[in-house]
Each structure stands twice: as structure tokens, then as C-alpha cells.
């Protein structure tokens, strides 16, 4: 494992639910310092890819490498300790627990309490409106705020690679913009990012590199600007 | 007034044991999404060990209280070993598998019924009086033993509540109960937390059994009745909810006590089942249930 090790390298990954195939021979990488996006329609297999990477779905074949180390099939809690953090689809907050408890759980794998406290402060600086509501149950926040909490919780593990599964879905345009800015900001702090989105416009605007997933297979990949200007992608994903 | 206080005190005594019992059931369900029908046997073996060791130690001229406390230590130890074996050789392989865990726990019930009968015999075992005397509370007499049982149960429940809300393990147990995958994504090691939850539940059953032993008649079948009542308590309160288990335990105890006082035990049991039906019609997930 060197400093230049590729944060995430997925090779030949296939996965299925029973006999129903969901991913077919997917190759995808997140290189150091990049925001990479994976764009696909509903049911394309985006969440399955995230789950296969983070250990919630066991791949049928293929490999997942995290910072150069093969981690295929490793359990999610071990991957967290290797620098991976996930904002799952649908946020999956612990709704009956308080905001603070949710953030503490985000730091579950860490032992340096002083550093955790510093990170809590930093994370709350990103979301000042959450600071005086730490003892409110997470499930009672608005949809946009819950998405912020999900991101904040994921950051509490001090990740080196962050996976986000459709963080802007169902949110008002102003909040979508804020999340987009947030992702850029997080990347600026040295966190590598894989952003999974149906919202191609936002995703391509934020990302450096993009993959297009259709029916469980990668059908195109290129620089995000290049894809944003490709007529085919514009027709299929940008409604132009 | 006197009757009311007497009824409340009796409800609290019975409820205290139901609470310890249902906390264990709800913890195991919350963390592993299984129902352990052999939970009553963890409770029973603890009561049996107390009933077996206390007369033995008293026979060696040990005073009642030290004999009892040693008996409790032995009972908790034996119960934890049994719980450990159940988990390591059984339930570990049937996590989140309702049907598999159901079959396993029924098998354990049959097996342990036979083993208990063989080891402890079918006869009932009286436990000598540990704390003599009665205390008067607001004009109603309570035996010192029953009062001590209540106090101990309240302390244990309070400690568990504190641990669930204030400690890292407690927060992990709650997070796993709400969404085990999301908890794993935070770095919570599911297997270890499930094991911890199962062992805490076993310890609660052990303490409940050891506490009840001196104030009841101990037989190998003692777990069955408490299992049913504990179950009703968690279903009424909401499976997986700690406050729900406490509320449900008190609820069932109150109906049993009041119904038994004004009518008879059979009517009280029918009333409990009617209550379950009503609660589940109005709130299918129980009073405080969520997922
Ligand atoms: N738990 C599951 N069981 C069975 N099929 C599933 C499950 N999750 C997803 N699928 C199927 O796998 C395919 C990919 O789903 P998913 O990865 O969730 O897509 P996306 O996130 O791109 O919307 C879909 O056809 C979906 O119906
Ligand atoms: Mg999805």
C-alpha cells in the first residue's frame, strides 16, 4: 500500500440477487483526489455496486481493491476501519436516536476521543443549523437536513474514500446545490469520492470523471466534461 | 385505599420480574431479529441453581444471606454458560432467520426440559427464607424479601437503561436494533454486538430467576409461565423497544393482579389475551414499537 495506491479499483465485478443478475463485469476506479460519478437510471444497479463495494452484497465474481488492498467480500465494519465510509441510499439514519448519537455512531470505529471531538466540531461547522439541535431525534429533521446528517455521520469516521448513493434525490433545488457544494468541499479536504446519481446534471457538474451504468453494465466512461458535452449522454440523461 | 395500595405493590413485584424477562426477549429480538423460546429455560436454570445451592450451603452452617448471594453468583455463572452454549452452537447460525431460530429454540426447549428433569428432578424445591420480616408501605404489608426483589429489579432495569443510553455498547445495540446494516456501515461489528446482546439478555434472565427463587416455588417448569407473560409484555410494549418492555411488563402484571383479585386467575389470563388483541388492533407494532 503506497501513498499513490488507487483509492478504489473495481475489476470484473458481477453480482446477482438469487438468479436475477444486477451487475455484469463492472470495471470502475476512483483515482487519488478525484470525484467520480456513476450515473444510471432507476434499477441500473448503482446501489448494488455500492453494496458490493462496502460489503453488504457479496459479489459473484470480480475484485474490489481499497487503497491497493484486496477487500472483496470483507464486512462493512472492517472496511470502515480501512478508510471507507458510505452515505447509503435513503440515508438510513437511526431515526429514534438523537442527532448527536448518530454522529457518535459515525465515529464508532475510532478510539482517539480528542480527534473525534475536533471532527465533530468541524462537521458541525459545515452545518451550523444542526449545532443547537444535537439532542433532537434524527428522524424528526426535514428531508434535506436528514441528508446533511447522513453526510455528517459518514464524515465522522474520518474517511479517505466516501461513497454517496443518490444524496440529492427528492430534495429541493436549493438543497441539491448545497449538497453539490458540500461534495466539492469534502473532496477539497482530501477525501476521494464516488458519487452515485440519477441526477446526471448535478453529478456531471461536480465530478471529474464519470461512468454510465445501464442494465448492470458500464456502457460509457470518460471525463465528466466530455460526457456532459456528448450528444448521446445529453439526450439520454440530461434531457437536452 | 388499602386494597389499591396492596394491588399496586403486588403488580410491581410481579411486574419487576416480567420486566427483567421481557427486556431480555426484546434485546435478543432487536439485535438478532429472532425469538428465543428457550429464554424461559435460562430463567429456570438460574432459579433451579439457587434452589439447589442455598439449602446445600445452609446445611454447611452458612447464614441465609451469604448462602443466597453465593447461590446467585453460581446461578448467574451457570446461566451464562448455558446462554453462551446456546449462542455459540445455535443461534449464531440462525441470525435474522425467524423460521430457523424458531425450530432451534423449540428443539432447545424439548432438550432442556429433559435435561433439567434429569439433573434437578421433577420435585418442587423450596428456598429457605433469606430476609425475614415484613415492611409496611402506606399501611400495606410486604415481605422484606419481595421488597428486596423489587428494589433489585428496579436497580437492574435502571442500570440497563443507563447502559443502553450512555455507553458505546448500548448505543451500538440500539443502532443494530434499528438498522443493522446501517450500523455496520458505521463500523459496528454486528456479530460481536449480537453476541453481547444475547449474553446481556441471558444475564437478565439469570438475575430474574435468582431473584424470584426465594419468593416462589421453584420447579423445572417455572420458566414456561414467565415466558408467556414476558412475551405478551414485549408484544404489547413493542418488540425491540426497551421502554416498551418495561411498560408492557407493568401492564401485564397490573392486569394479572387486578383481574386475579376481583375475579380469578383464569379471568385474569383471558383479560391479558384480550388486552393483547386490543393493543395489536390499535397499534400493530405495540405501544412503543417501531420497526
Ligand atoms: N434486495 C434485492 N433483491 C432482489 N433484487 C434486487 C434487490 N435490490 C435490487 N434488486 C434488483 O437489482 C437491480 C438493480 O437494483 P439497484 O442496484 O437498487 O439499482 P439502482 O440503485 O441503480 O436503482 C434492479 O433490477 C432491482 O430490482
Ligand atoms: Mg439505488
Interface touch A92/B168, C-beta < 8 Å: no
Residue B289 pLDDT grade (very low, low, confident, very high; cuts 50, 70, 90): confident
What's the half-sphere exposure (Cβ side, CA atoms, 13 Å) at B266?
0
The answer to whether position B216 is within a domain reads yes
Taking CA–CA distances from B185, the nearest residue in chain A reads A76
Rounded Cα–Cα distance for residues B33 and A131 (Å): 34
| DSSP one-letter code for A133 | G
How far is the CA of B212 from the CAs of A18, B15, B72, B222, in angstroms? 49, 12, 11, 10
Beta bridge partners of A87: A164
Q: Which of residues 81-140 of A touch B (CB under 8 A)?
A: 81, 85-86, 88, 92-97, 101, 104-106, 108-109
B254 within a domain of the structure (yes/no):
no
For residue A34, the Cα-to-chain-centroid distance in whole angstroms is 13
Instruction: Tell me if A203 sits within 8 A of A37, measured CB to CB.
Output: yes
Q: What is the pLDDT of residue A3?
A: 52
Domains, in order of start, for chain A: 1-83+159-240 (3.40.50.300), 92-158 (no CATH)
Sign of CA dihedral B267, B272, B278, B281: negative
Average pLDDT, integer, range B247-273? 88
Nearest CA to B80 out of B173, B224, B200, B222 is that of B200
Q: Is residue B180 part of a domain?
A: yes
Residue with the smallest CA separation from ligand 1 atom 27 is: A43
Could you tell me if residue B28 is inside a domain?
yes
Give the CB-side neighbour count of residue A117, counting CA atoms within 13 A: 3
Is there a contact between A93 and A153 (Cβ–Cβ < 8 Å)? Answer: yes
Q: Residue B291: is its pLDDT beyond 60?
A: no
pLDDT in tens, B81-94: 999 999 999 999 99
Contacts with B193 from chain A: Cβ below 8 Å: none
**pLDDT score of A233:** 86
- What does the pLDDT read at residue B290? 64
A33 vs A188: CA distance, rounded Å: 8
Residues in Cβ contact with A19 at an 8 Å cutoff, skipping those fewer than 6 apart: none
B141 three-class SS: strand
- Give percent helix, percent strand, percent coil of chain A, each to the nearest 5: 40, 25, 35
- Total structural domains in chain B? 1
Helices marked H in chain B — which ranges? 2-32, 39-59, 64-89, 98-120, 144-166, 168-178, 180-185, 190-212, 222-237, 242-262, 265-282
Q: Do B182 and A92 touch (CB under 8 A)?
A: yes
List of chain B residues whose C-beta atoms are within 8 Å of the C-beta of residue A54: 185
Provide ipTM, 2 decimals. Answer: 0.95
Question: What's the pTM?
Answer: 0.93
User: Residue B92's domain spans which residues?
Assistant: 18-222
Amino acid at each position: 500500500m503506497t501513498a499513490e495506491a488507487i483509492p478504489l479499483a473495481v475489476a470484473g465485478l458481477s453480482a446477482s440477487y438469487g438468479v436475477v443478475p444486477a451487475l455484469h463485469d463492472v470495471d470502475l476506479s476512483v483515482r487519488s483526489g478525484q470525484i467520480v460519478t456513476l450515473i444510471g437510471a432507476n434499477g441500473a444497479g448503482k446501489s448494488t455496486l455500492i453494496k458490493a463495494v462496502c460489503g453488504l452484497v457479496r459479489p459473484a465474481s470480480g475484485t474490489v481493491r481499497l487503497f491497493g488492498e484486496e477487500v472483496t467480500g470483507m464486512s462493512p465494519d472492517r472496511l470502515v476501519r480501512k478508510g471507507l465510509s458510505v452515505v447509503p441510499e435513503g440515508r438510513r439514519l437511526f431515526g429514534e436516536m438523537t442527532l448527536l448519537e448518530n454522529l457518535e455512531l459515525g465515529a464508532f470505529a475510532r478510539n482517539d476521543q480528542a480527534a473525534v471531538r475536533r471532527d465533530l466540531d468541524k462537521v458541525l461547522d459545515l452545518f451550523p443549523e444542526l449545532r443547537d439541535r444535537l439532542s433532537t431525534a434524527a428522524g424528526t429533521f426535514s428531508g434535506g437536513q436528514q441528508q446533511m446528517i447522513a453526510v455528517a455521520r459518514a464524515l465522522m469516521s474520518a474517511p479517505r474514500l466516501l461513497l454517496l448513493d443518490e444524496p440529492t434525490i427528492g430534495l429541493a433545488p436549493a438543497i441539491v446545490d448545497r449538497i453539490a457544494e458540500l461534495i466539492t468541499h469534502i473532496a477539497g479536504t482530501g477525501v476521494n469520492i464516488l458519487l452515485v446519481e440519477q441526477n446526471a446534471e448535478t453529478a456531471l457538474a461536480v465530478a471529474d470523471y464519470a461512468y454510465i451504468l445501464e442494465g448492470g453494465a458500464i456502457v460509457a466512461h470518460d471525463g465528466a466534461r466530455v460526457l456532459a458535452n456528448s450528444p448521446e449522454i445529453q439526450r439520454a440523461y440530461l434531457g437536452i | 385505599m388499602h386494597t389499591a395500595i396492596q394491588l399496586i405493590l403486588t403488580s410491581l413485584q410481579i411486574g419487576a420480574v416480567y420486566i427483567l424477562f421481557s427486556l431480555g426477549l426484546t434485546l435478543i429480538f432487536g439485535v438478532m431479529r429472532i425469538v428465543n423460546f428457550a429464554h424461559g429455560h435460562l430463567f429456570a436454570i438460574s432459579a433451579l441453581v439457587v434452589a439447589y445451592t442455598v439449602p446445600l450451603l445452609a446445611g454447611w452452617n452458612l447464614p441465609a444471606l451469604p448462602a443466597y448471594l453465593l447461590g446467585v453468583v453460581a446461578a448467574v455463572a451457570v446461566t451464562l454458560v448455558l446462554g453462551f452454549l446456546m449462542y455459540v452452537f445455535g443461534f449464531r447460525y440462525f441470525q435474522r432467520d425467524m423460521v430457523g431460530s424458531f425450530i432451534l429454540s423449540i428443539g432447545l426447549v424439548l432438550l432442556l426440559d429433559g435435561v433439567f428433569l434429569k439433573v434437578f428432578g421433577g420435585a418442587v424445591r423450596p428456598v429457605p427464607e433469606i430476609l425475614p420480616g415484613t415492611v409496611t408501605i402506606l399501611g400495606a404489608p410486604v415481605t422484606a424479601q419481595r421488597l428486596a426483589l423489587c428494589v433489585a429489579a428496579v436497580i437492574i432495569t435502571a442500570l440497563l437503561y443507563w447502559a443502553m443510553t450512555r455507553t458505546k455498547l448500548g448505543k451500538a445495540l440500539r443502532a443494530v436494533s434499528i438498522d443493522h446494516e446501517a450500523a455496520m456501515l458505521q463500523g459496528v461489528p454486528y456479530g460481536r454486538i449480537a453476541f453481547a446482546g444475547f449474553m446481556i439478555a441471558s444475564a437478565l434472565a439469570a438475575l430474574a430467576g435468582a431473584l424470584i427463587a426465594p419468593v416462589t416455588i421453584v420447579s423445572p417448569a417455572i420458566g414456561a409461565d414467565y415466558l408467556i407473560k414476558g412475551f405478551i409484555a414485549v408484544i404489547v410494549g413493542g418488540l425491540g423497544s426497551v421502554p416498551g418492555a418495561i411498560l408492557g411488563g407493568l401492564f401485564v402484571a397490573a392486569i394479572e393482579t387486578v383481574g386475579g383479585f376481583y375475579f380469578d386467575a383464569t379471568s385474569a389470563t383471558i383479560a391479558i389475551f384480550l388486552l393483547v388483541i386490543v393493543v395489536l388492533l390499535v397499534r400493530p407494532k405495540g405501544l412503543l414499537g417501531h420497526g
